[in-house]
Amino acid sequence: MLWINHVSHGGESEKNFVSRPAHRAAGAGLAALLLAAGAAGCGKGEESPEMTPAAAVAKAAKNTEDITSLRYRLNGSVPEQGRIEAEASMRVKPEVAMSMKMKAFDQGTDGTVEIRLVDKVMYMSGGAAAQEMGGKSWLKFDLAAMGADKELNQLGTVSRADRNPATESTFLTGAKDVKKVGEEKVDGVETTRYSGTLTLDDLRTSSKDEAKETRERREKSIEQYEKPGVDKLAMDMRVDGEDHTERFRMRGDADKGPLDMTFTFLDVNKPVEVAAPPAEDVATLEDLMAGASAG
């Protein structure tokens, strides 16, 4: 039994009895309240278990499927062309369109070009061809009519025109040695950096379970690395706090020089409109050939 002092109305002290079971119930209730309060306090500071590097990279790659347009910056070096720097805006859906301004630093005074891709027609301004266009400022390539893959490959760096860096940012999912490198800022945004290495065969194998559209996009990108002789890539990927890729870098050895490209995403899913140049400013390959024959 538990004794509790009680003061009566008359001021005299009395002793009342409170059953021990009731006391235990009260104590249990108080303990429950304290535990609940403690749990709530701990909950505020708790973090969910950290994802593995491979899972974090896969989640960022999955988020690229929602990208319909993007603006990005590219810098680095590519085989034959040497050092390059570019900024581009690209619409992926409903149809591909893009605008890119690029400088190839090792190509002399003719190294700066602008490229537009509209309705499967590519327009290029600047570069060595500009001297041969009879006062016109744009050269037209009808990709649908002339065979896009063949002609784009002959244009060297310009072949980037129809390639989607959002697709290439997912390549690290094919690596078997993905690891977390650390934390760093990209244009003021806090990111986590991951790295790994992969062969193009690894990349193809990892694509087998993807949707058909994803496989086709990735295969097109893989082929662009195979053609200059790249068979293995070292890759870094920076992912922000919302599981979106902010920057990625790819390096490899090609037959005609090193490949080292860094892509930084500047805007995602904002409207991108690309217009063809005025017709009076456009020359065609036929115009160039006619001019060459006349010369």
At residue 34, the pLDDT reads 35
pLDDT in tens, the chain (295 residues): 333 343 344 444 444 434 444 444 444 443 333 333 333 333 444 444 678 999 999 999 999 988 999 999 999 998 888 899 999 999 988 888 999 999 988 877 667 889 999 988 999 988 666 666 777 889 998 877 665 544 444 444 444 556 789 989 999 999 999 999 999 999 999 999 999 999 999 888 887 777 787 788 888 888 888 888 899 999 999 999 999 999 999 999 998 889 999 999 999 999 999 999 999 999 887 777 766 566 5
Q: What are phi and psi of 96, to 5 degrees?
A: -70, 130
Token output for 151: 């002609």
Please give the Cα distance from 104 to 71 (Å, whole number). Answer: 20
pLDDT at 99: 95
| Phi (first) and psi of residue 78, to 5 degrees | -130, 155
Q: What is the pLDDT of residue 109?
A: 66
Residue 16 has a pLDDT of 42
- The pLDDT score that the predictor gives to residue 158 is 44
Which alpha helices (H) appear in 53-182, and where do they start and end?
Answer: 53-63, 143-146, 148-154, 165-168
Element (H, E) at 182: strand 179-186
Contact indicator for 219, 70 with CB cutoff of 8 Å: no
- Nearest CA-CA partner of 263 in 71, 104, 60, 97: 71
Tokens, residue 201: 């065969």
- pLDDT, residue 135, reads 76
Question: pTM for this one?
Answer: 0.75
